[in-house]
Chain A
Amino acid sequence: MDWKLRRFGQAAFTVWAVMTLAFFLTRMMPGNPVDAFVAQVGPQLDNPQEAYEMAEIYMNINPEAPMHVAYWNYMTSMAVGDMGQSMSQNAPVAQIMAEAIPWTLFVMSWAIFIGFAVGISLGALMAYWEGTKFDTVLTGYATIITSIPFYVLALLLLITFAYRLGWFPTSGRRPEGVTAGFNLPFIFGIIHHAALPVFSMFVASGVASLTMRGNSIRVLGEDYLRVARLRGLPDRTIAVRYIARNAILPMYTGLMIAIGSMFGGAVVLEEIFTYRGMGYYMIQAVRARDYPLMMGAFTIITIAVVIALLVADLTYGKIDPRAGNEGNDAF
């Protein structure tokens, strides 16, 4: 219990530190966003002084207030979910994010799920047939696919299947002219639009399959496996309870990190497919020097990583008894 509290404390501390850092960078860095904002907006206004007030509306930072007051105001508004106002989209940052995040989640979670599922299955088969042609060919394939950056694969897929063959849409996230809702054409349309982005993240399966192969081979050499065979356990029990479980366990943290970093990974992908998710808006924000939107996106990415790692830590003990719930009970 103590350990869980401590872990929560660390997570909260990380989030707080990132927000604080964001505040001070925004406010104090030479050529910082607030100054830039004032310099950018000020001359266009009748009363340049209004620029300062606008800065507070957009970024929650009042450049004229004393530092501690500005900091307090910034942190309290962040705490209630007010991340300021986007300059380029002309809408509250929180609202843009809330609208974009589900799409990113949808694409990325499928990408991660399929990547890991395929990777683990292939890795298990490769280990089972270790040393055979199947293993050699697949290991080669996995090595190659791992070394291809996903955006290169994304471009190749886009050119081939969207532009040349026309099987998939070249951009967008939902079909045109279909009522949004729980109806078949709409669901099909969403999947149709998401297919290429999902499959370009397939490269992750390469790493997963190699890891799984290595882990499985290690487990295959363990004494307890030999004892289990001598004890006459059915092959299925050995495969599932002994090999698969022990081989997949070490990959769990990797999976959680992949989930945590999926918003970050979505940036380039969504840009390529003009898929209007979080990453897409982030690029837009950078292009338009839309600091509030950028800051909001960064903060959300940080929080996502922190939460994913927290979940990984807290649940690891549940799936691996050796880790224990106390964290330091293991050895």
Chain B
Amino acid sequence: MTITGSDATADAPEEDVAIRLRDTSVYFGMDRGRSMVLNGVDADIRRGEVLGVIGESGSGKSMFASALLDAVPEPGVTTGEVTYYPEEGEPVPVTDLSKAELRSLRWEEISMVFQGAMSSFNPVVTIRTHFVETLSAHDYDVDRGLARATDLLADLYLDPERMLESYPHELSGGMKQRVLIALSLVLDPEVLVMDEPTAALDLLMQRSIISLLEEIKEKHDLTIVFITHDLPLVADLADRLAVLYAFEFAEIGPAEEVLETPAHPYTRALLNATPNLSAPLEEMRPIEGESPDPVNIPKGCSYHPRCPLADEECQQIDPGPYDAGADHDVHCHHWEQSIEDLDVAFEETVDVGTRPSAAGRASGEPVVSLSDVEVTFGSANDGWFDFGDDETVTAVDGVSFDIYENDVLVLVGESGCGKTTLGKTAVGLQKPTGGTVEYRGRDVWEGASGSSLSDDEARRALQIVHQDPGSSLNSHQRVRTILEQPLKRWHPDLDGNDRRERILGMLEYVGITPPGDYVDRYPHQLSGGEKQRVALIRSMLINPDLILADEAVSALDVSLRVGMMDMMIDLQDSFNTSFLAVSHDLSNARYLAEKTGGRIGVMYLGELVEIGPAEQIIHDPQHPYTQALRWATPELGSETEETESPIRSIDIPDPKNPPSGCRYHTRCPEAREVCVEREPELVDVGEGASQPTACLRAQDDPDYRMSESITDDV
């Protein structure tokens, strides 16, 4: 950044700044050249604020976090100034500290919570040891420190004694994340840097941790830097928001202002690209193009290749911070034009309307029909020389649904609820231990031996697109070979030219151009979005009737998700395919299902608790669990903010030993005694369209009305 702000030169900050960055860069030397992963960033982190830093993957946000502690992993080099201003005493130049000084700065003054809480603990020692060794390494009083740790853990709704005695592997992901937060606060730091602290967690857990953070921050007087790719997630929590694009800040300002009147074209595009529950579908647009390569950042404004407003000035001159209102800096030459024109510009291109609802299509013969499907994992006691107990987990417990021609059904639920297992069962990749899966009226497992279908027709008709495109494409084969295989197998009559034509046509159809150039590439030469599109084409090429899309967009950047989902919808239309999508994210589910007039099915601990048209599930959820998911899905600028958590306990019960009666009764705010005993059936409670729900309350069951509430004594 060549043009610097007006107040950047002063030595002592006039505001109460905790950390100040000036022209801070991080780079890695690579064979291809110098890889700039943080490019001359200026920022002030104010004492007592929550600064939300938003960036897509590869925007330099983790490097920003590491630079605050001068903890960039080797061989990365940090240049520029990072200054820490303690409440009392001299400013500390973080980048010039000796090893010993750094040791006492980190964790005592500035602490950090990492992305990978799952692997942030030494697997062979107890949690207590982690606390003790941290305390003694910093010469803190161990007993007092442990007392503090106990308080912290209790504040995070954990059982301190149990946690301290546990080994890391004995805790669930959400527990580990909370323990890690407690561990990072045990030395009472001033500043807490959190790098994607909730990325690996389920919606409900994410939301619960965010609420806890607010309490913790008040209680311990913290300054928090919260780094995430998920804009809506920090929207409520943050005082100020900073948007990172291509290793620089695009925009930084008060949270409300950035969300309501974003000045940078990228921020506007990102907001439009973020799937959420309330915004009209037509306003969600993907951002064209991909983020730049750190070795080769575009000259001038790094966003200009993707920006609709870009002109010559943008290509030449790096935009300095312009003042877009009090306390609101934006790095764009045309920010005023951006505020005025950009949303309108987007609206003109709207062309997709919602299609007739699934109810209209439900009349025909179902393509795939599941009835009372059960899947059990683990080994039961098999007698001979097996003295063990039954160790079984019922991943799917008696689920029935039908999928019709050109239908979309999205299964949502927390991890471990059995949604992926159910999906795989529906496409014949997992043999059910009970119930039947029928394809066009034929039982797909009939006559099958082992774990593969004997019915070729069904095998062809039921396909899958995996979550991680990186590992579902053979890395030693070219795109051509990958795409030829299904054609050779299912269309042996095609000759080489026809195959090639077909592959090129498909690639072009999904926007991979020029296709002739791409067919000879290996998967690692493709970007994430391109890989996922190739994987999608691979299943499309054989003309399936049903595709299981297992978290097909979760691994993609936020700005690419809507684009990918649009493509799936488009392909579905052209090829007359049905989708069974699996997602942990209600916003994605809503986008996919609502746009196609499809249904959403909500799963909890192996059971389908509610299923119905997307609009109804989102806007009028009947089951308390769906309502909780709805609550947990972060919203942009929604006024009807519920602050009260609708779940009674944060952690999911052990699936090996599910609760009796209604499985949700241990967390349900409406649970009554009858819920503990009686297992509710799926009964249609929808007004208008069908919306079967497994909840006694929603069904207005007489037993429920008579029963006593159990929510107080838990």
Contact B124 A245 (CB under 8 A): yes
| Chain B residue with Cβ nearest A13 | B385
In the complex, number of A-B residue pairs with CB atoms less than 8 Å apart: 80
User: Given contacts A231-B134, A232-B104, A321-B169, is CB(A226)–CB(B122) below 8 Å?
Assistant: no
Interface residues of A in 209-260 (CB under 8 A from B): 222-224, 226-234, 237, 241-242, 245-246, 249
Contacting pair B167 A321 (CB below 8 A): yes
Which one of B103, B120, B123 contacts A232 once the chains associate, using CB atoms below 8 Å? B103
State whether B106 touches A230 (Cβ < 8 A): yes
Asked if B71 and A230 sit within 8 Å, CB to CB, the answer is yes
Are A249 and B137 in touch, CB under 8 angstroms?
no
What is the minimal beta-carbon distance from B100 to any residue of chain A, in angstroms? 9
CB of A160 within 8 Å of the partner chain: no
B137 to A237, Cβ gap below 8 A? yes
Chain B hits for A231, CB < 8 A = 106-107, 133-134, 137, 183
* A5, A234, A321: most-surrounded residue (chain B CB, <10 A): A321
- How far apart are the CA atoms of A228 and B106 in the complex, in Å? 11
A129 interface residue (CB < 8 Å to B): no
A50 within 8 A of B: no
> What secondary structure prevails in chain B residues at the interface with A?
loop
Q: Given A222-B119, A232-B106, A321-B167: A6 and B387 within 8 A (CB)? A: yes
A72 contacts B by Cβ under 8 Å: no
* A330-B134 Cα distance, complex, nearest whole Å: 26
- How many angstroms from the CA of A321 to the CA of B165 in the assembled complex? 12
* Residue of A with least CB distance to B381: A2
Given known A-B contacts A233-B133, A234-B137, A246-B124, A226 and B106 have beta carbons under 8 A apart: no
Bound-state CA distance A320–B107 (Å) is 28
Choose among B107, B120, B133, B183 the residue that contacts A223 (Cβ–Cβ < 8 A).
B120
Interface size of B by CB at 8 A reads: 32
Least CB distance from B193 to A in Å reads 10
- Does B107 contact A6, Cβ atoms closer than 8 Å? no
Given contacts A230-B107, A231-B107, A233-B137, contact A241 B125 (CB under 8 A): yes
The reply to whether the CB of B121 lies closer than 8 angstroms to some CB of chain A is: yes
- In chain B, positions 68-115 with a C-beta closer than 8 Å to chain A are 69, 71, 73, 103-104, 106-108, 112, 114
Whether the pair B167, A322 counts as a contact (CB closer than 8 A) is yes
Known A224-B120, A321-B124; judge A232-B138 contact (CB<8 A). Answer: yes
Pick from A2, A5, A9, A246: contact of B123, CB under 8 Å: A246
The reply on A90 being an interface residue by CB < 8 A is no
B110 to chain A, nearest CB (A): 10
Report if B493 contacts A (CB, 8 A).
Answer: no
Taking CB as reference atom, which chain A residue is nearest B169?
Answer: A322
B122 touches A2 (CB 8 A): no
Q: Which B residues lie within 8 Å of A227 (CB)? A: 114, 120-121
Check B351 for interface membership: any CB of A closer than 8 A: no
Minimum CB–CB distance from B92 to chain A (whole Å) comes to 15
Nearest CB to that of A221 among chain B residues?
A: B73
Contacts of B114 on A, CB cut-off 8 Å?
223, 226-227
Chain A residues whose C-beta falls within 8 Å of the C-beta of B123 in the assembled complex: 224, 246, 321-322
A6 contact set on B, CB distance < 8 A: 385-388
Considering the chains assembled together, what is the distance between the CA atoms of A227 and B130 in angstroms?
11
The A-contacting residues of B in range 36-79, CB under 8 angstroms, are 69, 71, 73
Q: State the CA gap A34–B137 with chains docked (Å).
A: 71
User: CB-nearest residue of chain A relative to B117?
Assistant: A223
Give CA–CA (A2, B106) in the complex, Å.
Answer: 47
* Chain B contacts for A331, CB-based, 8 A: 169
With known contacts A230-B69, A232-B107, A330-B169, A3–B388 Cβ distance under 8 A? yes
Report the separation of the CA atoms of residues A322 and B123 in the bound assembly, to the nearest whole angstrom: 7
Report A-chain residues with C-beta under 8 Å of the C-beta of B13.
none
State whether the Cβ of B145 lies closer than 8 Å to any Cβ in chain A: no
Which residues does A use to contact B, with CB under 8 Å? 2-3, 5-6, 9-10, 13, 222-224, 226-234, 237, 241-242, 245-246, 249, 320-322, 328, 330-331
Return 10 A-B CB contacts under 8 Å, by A number: A10-B385, A222-B119, A223-B119, A230-B106, A231-B133, A232-B107, A237-B133, A246-B122, A321-B126, A322-B169
Closest 4 CB pairs of A and B: A223-B119, A232-B103, A321-B167, A6-B387
Residues on B facing A (Cβ under 8 Å): 69, 71, 73, 103-104, 106-108, 112, 114, 116, 119-126, 133-134, 137-138, 167, 169, 183, 385-389, 391
